[in-house]
Amino acid sequence: MFFVTRAVPQVHSGLWAIAAIGFLLVAGTLTSELVELLRLPHLTGYLITGIVAGPHVLRLVDDPTVRSLSPINTLALALIALAGGAELDFAAMRDAARSLAWATLVQSVFVLVAASGTFLLVAPFVAFTHGLSLGALLGVALLWGALAVSRSPSATLAILAQTRATGRLASFTLAFVMTSDVVVVVLVAAVIGAVRPMIDPSATFSFASLVNLGHELFGSVALGTTLGLVIATYLRFVDRQMLVVLLVLGFGVSSVLDYLQFDALLTFMVAGFAVRNMSRQGHKLVSHIEQTGTVVYVIFFATAGADLDVPLLRHLWPVAVALTGSRAAITWLGGRVAGSLAGDSADLRRWSWSGLISQAGLTLGLSAIVAREFPAIGTPLRALAIATIAVNEMIGPVLFKFALDRTGETSRVRGPSFAG
């Protein structure tokens, strides 16, 4: 790869994209096996592969190739959300409703307020905040706090797929992270509407964004439920060529959802939830997704590593480290408080925060929305968000796997591997 990329650096074709996929699969799998010797999650190996092979280090996979792999990421996110919904058992969620309710309340409100306050403290070291009025600075801080509330369903599912963890911490983290997606989307939309007059004095508060949000949420839930029932019916009476079906879902349905302006992650999550809880086909769906799951995770996270803006992270790392460190501390404290209020077990009170550190695609998507809504400060704010996401993406999975190991929930049965 190193020789070919230097010999024909101008070649950017579909064949080269296929070569990049093959390279990332092999190198990512090998690296994940090596980091496992250090008791690190496979996801860390995938990210390291992408960063080293990406356009900012060895340049084995350049920017055009990374962009050409975006359809693969669309498929990956669809399968990840579908698998996540299929893992959510309504009876188990009902039993843990008290813990989930307290965790959602504390981790949303407390993180929003505390992360906003932290941003105000580091604002003198953030160049784009200089010259802002106090009201505008407070508005930017609230936007940052809303982004800090978001988590990473893909990282959570990748760790659970590798470790095959079962237990209270694993089930709580999965249920909380998947259901909190809805809370985060609503929260960001509400904050955007509230702070618009603070950042732009000529703007007024509008309910239009909330109306659009309601359309998106209700439409996604309705379509996801219908899609789930269709999938369950197919599994019940046909159950053949599921690889083709998953490809159609990942590419075709995602395109339709984008056209309808529905949230693809929420739609597929609801579809998986419907298959699990409104039929007896949930185990079949999970089994089919697991057969392609490892390949999906390798490509998705290796591409995320290759897409990481290393120069930007190098430039913003002091502020990024300060913000990610404070967010981790806030999340840890919120987990302790929520666990005490809910009367959780000692292990859950101690480690419930560990699976809530990771950030990835959802946060990137929300930061893009913020950048679009506030052009004056959106671009530098998104750049800072990308830098912090990079740090959280690296340390979050390690912390979650460590917690699963310490609580004894990690299975001794080896998870699925691309290498067989």
SS3 per-residue string spanning 303-343: HHHHCCCHHHHHHHHHHHHHHHHHHHHHHHHHHHHHHHHHC
Quick count: other Cβ atoms within 10 Å of Cβ 121? 12
- What local confidence, expressed as pLDDT, does residue 40 receive? 86
- What local confidence, expressed as pLDDT, does residue 15 receive? 67
Phi, psi of 343 (to 5 degrees): 70, 35
- What local confidence, expressed as pLDDT, does residue 418 receive? 46
- What local confidence, expressed as pLDDT, does residue 138 receive? 94
- On whether the CB atoms of residues 403 and 169 are closer than 8 A, the answer is yes
In angstroms, the CA 129 to CA 110 distance is 23
State the 10-residue block means of pLDDT for the chain, 420 residues long: 76 71 90 88 88 88 82 81 84 85 93 94 89 90 93 86 87 88 82 84 64 79 93 91 86 86 85 92 86 77 81 82 94 94 91 90 79 82 85 90 92 53
- What local confidence, expressed as pLDDT, does residue 339 receive? 92
Kindly report whether the global pTM for this prediction surpasses the value 0.85: no
- What local confidence, expressed as pLDDT, does residue 413 receive? 54
- What local confidence, expressed as pLDDT, does residue 34 receive? 92
Angle at 191 between CA 188 and CA 192, to 5 degrees: 85
Could you tell me the CA-to-CA distances from 245 to 74, 156, 240, 273 in Å, in that order? 15, 24, 9, 18
- What local confidence, expressed as pLDDT, does residue 2 receive? 85
- What local confidence, expressed as pLDDT, does residue 30 receive? 93
* DSSP per-residue string spanning 18-47: HHHHHHHHHHHHHHHHHHHTTT--HHHHHH
Domains defined along the chain, listed by start: 70-406 (1.20.1530.20)
